[in-house]
Amino acid sequence: MTPVEFPSHGANVVVSPGSWLCPPLWTGVVILGGAGIVTAPSVRAAQLMADASRKLSHGELVDEERLREVLPVLDVLGPASLLYLDRADFLPAHGGTAVEEVMCGDGELASLLARAGREDADESGLEAITSPSFVLREGQDVVAAAGYRTWPRSVAHLSVLVAPDCRGRRLARVVASAAVTHALEAGMLPQWRARPHPSRRVAHALGFQELGFQLSVRLGDGGDSAHRRVGPAL
């Protein structure tokens, strides 16, 4: 595990092949306020990103076009908004159906994940949660679920998924609200990562505030010649 802290200013670049901020062999960039952290899969990638961070502003480090001007970029994921929630700002959402708490890894989520499709399931991150799952059912079928993965510094990284044919009914708000309540009661800081606008809309409805951005980049010219992922680390 490679610990990394946000600096008082600038960007802190570290080699972390097992970073949670990006897919294996990719480089992860997170910008919060006036500081940033970059996790690279290899020494070469870290050198490339350190050079780029001296040339680019914080905003440009999560700008695909500017990155391509100074780096051998092969592929990009994002950028995504990072939103956080203070307990005092929480706006709980309630639906007409009771939310059920089930244990993490419960097989009932498999049907929802399959129903949503691989792309949406991966985007939600629901398979990686470490909290219980908070679900809504229609009959015996789970149609919406939420939970969170525990990150360093007591951060609760939220995951939400709704069956495609059940979207637009505010189900995401209801299950996410239950997961947020659980995280806050555990003394954690809820974090929401959002790329599509509907995801940001749900986060804002619950009181989350946008504070930063995250981007993953795959580098060429030796930038992705790292060891395979060996374990979770930030």
Q: Are strands 10-15 and 35-40 parallel, antiparallel or unpaired?
A: parallel
Regarding whether 128 and 44 lie in a shared domain, the answer is no
What is the value of pTM for the model shown?
0.80
112 shares its domain with 165: yes
234, part of any domain: no
- Structure-block tokens of residue 204: 């804002």
Residues 196, 91 within the same domain: yes
Residue 150 CB coordination number (10 Å): 14
Average pLDDT over residues 28-46: 91
Q: Is residue 3 one of the residues assigned to a domain?
A: no
pLDDT tens for residues 163-220?
A: 999 999 999 999 999 999 999 999 999 999 988 788 999 999 999 999 999 999 999 9
Q: Give backbone dihedrals phi and psi of 69, rounded to 5 degrees, phi first.
A: -75, -25
DSSP strand pairing (133-138 vs 141-151): antiparallel
| Calpha distance 92→179 (Å, rounded) | 10
Could you report the per-residue pLDDT of 43-58, keeping only the tens digit for each? 999 999 999 999 998 8
The range of the structural domain enclosing residue 99 comes to 87-207
Kindly provide the b/e burial profile for residues 44-54, where b requires at least 16 CB atoms within 10 angstroms of the residue's own CB: bbbebbeebbe
At residue 230's C-alpha, the angle toward residues 225 and 234, to 5°, is 90
Higher pLDDT, 7 or 190: 190
The percent of residues above 70 in pLDDT, for the chain, comes to 88
